Amino acid sequence: MASLAVLISLVACAALASGATGVRIELTRVHSSPFVRDAVRRDMHRHSARRLAASGDTVSAPVIEGPSSLGEYLMTLAIGTPPLSYPAIADTGSDLIWTQCAPCGDDQCFQQSTPLYNPANSTTFSYLPCSSQLSICEAASLPACVCPGYNYTYGTGWTSGVQGSETFSFGSSPADETSVSDIVFGCSNASSSDFNGSSGLVGLGRGSLSLVSQLGAGTFSYCLTALQDSNSTSTLLLGSSASLNDTGVGTTPFVPSPDMAPFNTFYYLNLTGISLGTTALSIPVDVFTLAANGTGGLIIDSGTTITSLVDAAYQQIRAAVLSMVTLPTTDGSDATGLDLCFALPSSKSAPPAMPSMTLHFDGADMVLPAGSYMTQDSNLWCLALQNQTYGMPSILGNYQQQNMHILYDIGQETMSFAPADCSTF
C-alpha cells in the first residue's frame, strides 16, 4: 500500500465499461510530520511482511501509530443497491477489492468513518460460488484458503471474510455516476487495524481480481505532485482517458512476473543501469535480474514511498553522492530513517546543486532531478534511497515518481513515462 497519503475523489466519470471514456480521479496529498521518517518505517514494515508472505509464514502486522490515513491513497466509491459510499485505499501492489461488512465486532474490525456495508440490505449482492474463475482463493493463490472464506495478507496488515459479487458505482454526483455490476470483492468480517482512515481497499495490481482487470480498463496512469506541494492535487486516470500526450515520452516493457504469490501481482521492469550526472555507475549488469523463484528484479510500486535498491547498486549511489557533497555528514537515522544525511547550516539553508540521476530501463531513460532522490528535513539533507539486502525485489517508490506522468498499458505490457508538472493536470 502506498506510503504517500492522499485522499481521492472521483470526478467526471463516464461509462468505463462501454469504452467511451474513462475515470478521472483527483488525489489530494495529506501531509504529516515527520513524513519521511514515518514513511520509511512503513516501507520497512511492508518489505518485512512481503518477505514473510513469500516464505509462506504467518504475518503478524502490529498497529502503526500516526495519522489515520498516513501512507495510503483513499478513493471514494459506492457499493450495493441502494449504493453505500465509502473510502478505500487504492493499492497498485495488490489485487483484491474489499470492504468491511456487517456483522463485524469492535474487536474484529477497525473503526471507519462510514456505516458498515451490510450485504443483507443490498438487492444486488450475491455470494460468489467457489467454482467461479474469479474465486478469491484460486485467483489470489491464497495458502490455507477455505472457500467461500478468504484470508488475505498485505505488507502492513490482513483481512478475512467471504467472497461476494456486487454492483460498484463510481462518480462524485448522480449526474456523472457509472455503475458496474458483478464486481468480485471480499466482504470482510475481520481485519487488522492498519487500514484506519478507510473502509477497505481497492487493488490495482496485475492480477485478475484487481479493479483494472475486472473493469477491462486496459490502461491507467497517474501523475503525482511534488512532496512539498501542499496546494495542488495529483491525478489518477483509469481507462481510455489514460494517455500520454507529453513530450519526452519513454516506453519500456514489463518483465513477466513469477507465477507465484505475492510476486505475480507486481509490475516488474528491466533496469539495466544507473548514472549520476554523466557518470555511469559501476553496477554489475546482473544485480537487477529477476530469478524464477521471485528473488531479485525491480518493481514499480506507488504503494512504497522511498525507492529501495539491491545493496550492490545502493552502495555505488551512496559512494557517488558522498564524493560530490562537501557538507559534513551526520546521523539522521532517528529523524529520517535514512542512511546518508548531511548537515546544512540551518533549516532555511538551500542545499548545494546536484546532477540529475538517470535510471536506464530497457529502451528508455528516466531522468530524476536532484529533488527526486535527495530530501530535506529541517537542517538535514539526505539521500532518499534505501538498500535492499534480503533478496526481495528492488522497488521504485513514489518519491522518485513525483512530477512524472506514468502510464501502465496492460494490453501492450508496457510502462510509459514523461516528466510533467503534475500540479497542472
CA distance 215 to 185: 13
Query: Can you give the CATH number for the domain in which 359 is found?
Result: 2.40.70.10
The pLDDT value given to residue 250: 97
Could you tell me if 80 and 218 lie in one domain? Answer: yes
Q: Dmax of the chain from CA atoms?
A: 67
Could you tell me if 222 and 253 lie in one domain? Answer: no
CA distance 264 to 183: 21
Domain enclosing residue 298, as ranges: 244-424
- Per the structure, how many domains does the chain have? 2
How many CA atoms within 13 Å lie on the side-chain side of 250? 16
Could you tell me if 10 and 155 lie in one domain? Answer: yes
Residue 301 is among the residues annotated as catalytic for this protein: yes
Could you tell me if 117 and 94 lie in one domain? Answer: yes
Could you tell me if 154 and 277 lie in one domain? Answer: no
Catalytic residue among 38, 91, 377, 409: 91
CA distance 27 to 222: 9
Helix (H, G, I), strand (E, B) or coil at 214: helix
Catalytic residue among 95, 301, 377, 409: 301
* The three three-digit cell numbers of residue 154, written as one number: 498485505
CA distance 274 to 260: 29
Q: Of 206, 239, 272, which closes a domain?
A: 239
Assigned domain for 1 exists:
no
Pairing of strands 200-203, 84-91: parallel
Q: Of 224, 239, 254, which closes a domain?
A: 239
Could you tell me if 286 and 154 lie in one domain? Answer: no
Could you tell me if 210 and 297 lie in one domain? Answer: no
Could you tell me if 224 and 166 lie in one domain? Answer: yes
Could you tell me if 324 and 199 lie in one domain? Answer: no
Produce one character per residue of 13-24: b if its CB has 16 or more CB atoms within 10 Å, e if not.
Answer: bbebeeeeebbb
Residue keyed to cell 498497529: 63
How many CA atoms within 13 Å lie on the side-chain side of 365? 14
Residue 176 is among the residues annotated as catalytic for this protein: no
Could you tell me if 206 and 275 lie in one domain? Answer: no
Assigned domain for 95 exists:
yes
The helix (H) or strand (E) run that includes residue 55 is helix 35-55
Q: Of 205, 239, 273, which closes a domain?
A: 239
Could you tell me if 274 and 188 lie in one domain? Answer: no
Could you tell me if 305 and 399 lie in one domain? Answer: yes
- The arrangement of strands across the sheet holding 271-276 comes to 279-280, 271-276, 357-361, 364-368
pLDDT, tens digit only, all 425 positions of the chain: 433 333 333 333 333 544 445 777 766 564 555 556 556 555 554 554 454 445 443 322 222 233 333 445 677 789 999 999 888 877 888 899 999 999 887 788 888 888 999 999 999 999 999 999 899 988 887 877 888 899 888 766 889 999 999 999 875 445 456 789 999 999 999 988 777 678 888 888 999 999 999 988 899 998 888 877 778 877 888 888 898 987 789 999 999 998 887 788 999 999 999 999 999 999 998 999 998 887 899 999 887 788 999 999 999 999 999 999 999 999 998 888 899 999 999 989 999 999 999 999 999 999 999 999 999 989 999 999 999 877 788 999 989 999 999 999 999 999 999 999 999 88
Instruction: Write down the pTM of the prediction.
Output: 0.83
The pLDDT value given to residue 36: 65
